[in-house]
Every structure is written in structure tokens, then in C-alpha cells.
């Protein structure tokens, strides 16, 4: 659970909510061909739940009231990867901070695959 504390109390949000929010923001960026699995555990999940599930390629952790977001993506062949990553970091930070009120400390983007157009 990700928790936002304010003078009136605390608001807790699930990791699934954050994963979907971050995933949708990242996928909407130009050049992102999809989300990639982030290890063996997600590979097994994709076998059980199918190739697409909300938390695929997204990991959100909270420390000291600030969020750290890890993304694993696939990009299109022939595109500038640095520009895509910069676009994703700006978009994801903006979307998360506006939707939740929490501050994003760091976003780590790993490009795990390059997909050629058919």
C-alpha cells in the first residue's frame, strides 16, 4: 500500500492502482511499443494471467513519503531511446503527482526490448 498522510488522516492506495496509472502514462508516450516483464516472477504471471496484466513492467515503492518508480519497456526500432525515456519520465512524473499528490523522487526506465515494425 502507498500511503499519503495529511492533517485529516491517511489515504492508502494499492500497488495495482499505481501500476495501472504508471503503465497507461508510459504506454501513451511516442515510441513505446509495450511493457516488458521485469524478471522471472512477472514471466510466470504472464503465463498465468496472459500477456498483459496491470502491473507488468512496473514497480512502485515508497520511502519517506516519496515514490520510486521502476519501468521495463519495449521501444520501436530506429527511434531515439534517450528521447523516449525522457518523455516517459516527464509524463509519468506529471501524471502520478497530479493524480495522487505524492512526490516522485526517481523514475528508472529500463529498455528491455526493441520491436521492429511489421
Cα–Cα distance for residue pair 17/115, rounded to 1 Å: 27
Chain centroid to Cα 79, Å, comes to 20
**Cβ(100)–Cβ(14) below 8 Å:** no
List all residues 6 or more positions away from 103 whose beta carbon is below 8 Å from its beta carbon: 65, 66, 67, 97
**Cβ(99)–Cβ(91) below 8 Å:** no
Secondary structure of residue 13 in the 3-state scheme = strand
The secondary structure of residue 77, as a DSSP letter, is: T
In order along its 118 residues, the chain shows pLDDT tens digits of 777 777 888 888 887 888 888 989 998 999 988 888 766 655 555 556 555 655 678 888 888 878 899 999 999 998 999 999 999 999 999 999 998 888 999 999 999 889 886 4
Location of C-alpha cell 531511446: 81
Q: Hey, where are the domains in the chain?
A: 2-115
Q: Which CATH architecture does the domain made up of 2-115 adopt?
A: 2-Layer Sandwich (3.30)
Amino acid at each position: 500500500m502507498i500511503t499519503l498522510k495529511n492533517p485529516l488522516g491517511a489515504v492508502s492506495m494499492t500497488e495495482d492502482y499505481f501500476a495501472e496509472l504508471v503503465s497507461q502514462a508510459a504506454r501513451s508516450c511516442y515510441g513505446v511499443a509495450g511493457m516488458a516483464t521485469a524478471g522471472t516472477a512477472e514471466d510466470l504471471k504472464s503465463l498465468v494471467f496472459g500477456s498483459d496484466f496491470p502491473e507488468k513492467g512496473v514497480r512502485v515503492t515508497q520511502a519517506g513519503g516519496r515514490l520510486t518508480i521502476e519501468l521495463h519497456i519495449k521501444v520501436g526500432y530506429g527511434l531515439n531511446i534517450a528521447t523516449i525515456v525522457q518523455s516517459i519520465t516527464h509524463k509519468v512524473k506529471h501524471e502520478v503527482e497530479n493524480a495522487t499528490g505524492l512526490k516522485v523522487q526517481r523514475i528508472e526506465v529500463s529498455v528491455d526490448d526493441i520491436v521492429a515494425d511489421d
